[in-house]
Amino acid sequence: MKKLVFISVIFLAYTTNLFSQLPESWNAHYSKIYSVSFSPDGKYILSGCYDGILTIWDVESGEMVKEILAHEDALNASVMTPDGKKIITGSSDQRIKVWDFETGNMISNAPAHGGAVNSIAISPVADEIMSVGNDKTFKIWEISQFKLIMSDVVHASNVYDCVYSPDGENMITVGEDSNIRVLRRSQGQLQATLSDHNDAIQAVKYNYNGRLLVTAGYDKNVKIWDIRTRRNRHSLRGHIEHIYAIDFMPNSNLFATAGDDLYIILWDAVSGDRVHTFATNKPTKAIAFSKDGKMLIFGDEGGNLNLIDTSEFAE
Tell me the C-alpha distance between 202 and 216, whole Å. Answer: 6
> How far from 117 is each of 10, 68, 78, CA to CA, in Å?
37, 18, 11
DSSP state of 244: E
Q: What is the pLDDT along the chain (315 residues), one digit of tens a residue?
A: 455 544 333 223 333 344 444 434 555 567 899 999 999 999 999 999 999 999 999 888 888 899 999 999 999 999 999 999 999 999 999 999 999 999 999 999 999 999 999 999 999 999 999 999 999 999 999 999 999 999 999 999 999 999 999 999 999 999 999 999 999 999 899 999 999 999 999 999 999 999 999 999 999 999 999 999 999 999 999 999 999 999 999 999 999 999 999 999 999 999 999 999 999 888 999 999 999 999 999 999 888 888 899 999 986
Please report which helix (H) or strand (E) contains residue 75, including its range.
strand 75-80
Residue 93: HSE in the Cβ half-sphere, 13 Å Cα cutoff: 20
Domains and CATH numbers, the chain: 1-30+196-315 (2.130.10.10)
pLDDT score of 304: 87
pLDDT score of 85: 97
- Report CA torsion sign: 138, 144, 207, 32: negative
pLDDT score of 22: 43
